[in-house]
Structure 1
Amino acid sequence: MLTIRKTNAYIGFLLVVIAITISPIIKVPIKGNWILYQTDDRLFFISFVLVALTGFCLYLRRVAAFRIFTYVLFIWSVLMAAAVFFKSNNYFGSKFFDKVLAKTIHYQWGWIVLLVGVLLLVTSVKKMQLTVPT
């Protein structure tokens, strides 16, 4: 039987929503801190839909679907970090300009908040044995 640790799930869900919507993801030298929407709008919308589906499964208490969506969200977060890294390292197509750009763009604390939130969501579902008192 699957059970949900509700405090971990709610705190993780809140951290993921904060990380996706308002926390800075990368720092661009001239323009300042960028959130996920300013980095790539497709990544933002796909991430927001995954978070919304995960929250909907949590609200409806569909534990198996919630567990699946938490793993999908974890894999998506890793792929999203890799996509932002490769996008900043291969932006112009020229080795010189790409190296200069990669040295000036820095990751911000939003990735840590996202990682902690997703890990809390993944660890919020556990298996328990159903015991019947005799």
Structure 2
Amino acid sequence: MKNLQLLGLILVVVGSFLPLVHVPIIGNWNYWKVDYYLAIFCWIFCACALFSILNNRPKLVNTFAVFLLILFVFTLFAIKYQASSYFSFLPFKSWTNALAGTVKLQWGWIVEFLGALIMLFAKSKNKN
């Protein structure tokens, strides 16, 4: 359904502006503050998915939804890796792990993944 796919796309775009990571003292970060290259890729994939939705190409929509899911998983791993390597200058491994653990994921990821999953699993009524 086009409407469900558009809803999923809107959720992904809106989710990129919601808080995704909480960094102590600094505050909440959205996708742009996490990494603007990843944010640009996210928005390019969303634009391509919108083009595919408007041209009634469900296989392309599914492809870009999978690309978005892969991008989100990659971003989560990159955030955890960056948080642990950011504090690598500390002399004790326990201090590094404790401070890296203060970087928390926020609720915006739920919206991001939900939107991509809706785009992926929404089926088109037209069987052309």
Task: Report the TM-score range of the alignment, normalised by the length of the smaller protein.
Answer: 0.7 to 0.9
Runs (5+) with no aligned partner, structure 2: none
Amino acid at match of 1:77: F
Q: Which residue of 1 aligns with 2:11?
A: 15
Amino acid at match of 1:73: L
Say if 1:88 and 1:98, in contact at 8 Å, map to a contact too: no
The Cα shift of 1:127 comes to: 8.7
Distance 1:47 1:98 in 2: 30
- The number of equivalent residue pairs is 125
Give SS of 1:23's match.
coil
Q: 2:69 matched to 1:71? A: no
The Cα shift of 1:93 comes to: 3.0
Q: Which residue of 2 aligns with 1:45?
A: 40
Q: Call closer, same or farther: CA 1:66–1:106 in 2, change over 3 Å.
A: same
Q: Which residue of 2 aligns with 1:35?
A: 30
Higher mean displacement: 94-103 or 24-33: 94-103
Q: Which residue of 2 aligns with 1:91?
A: 86
Q: Which residue of 2 aligns with 1:102?
A: 100
TM-score, structure 2 as length reference: 0.84
- Return the structure number with greater strand share: 1
Distance 1:50 1:129 in 2: 25
Give SS of 1:27's match.
strand
Describe the superposition over 1:1-31 as per-residue Cα deviations: whole angstroms up to 9, x where unpaired.
xxxx2232121111100111x2001111111
Give SS of 1:125's match.
coil
Q: 2:75 matched to 1:80? A: yes
TM-score, structure 1 as length reference: 0.81
- Percent identity between matched residues is 30
RMSD: 2.1
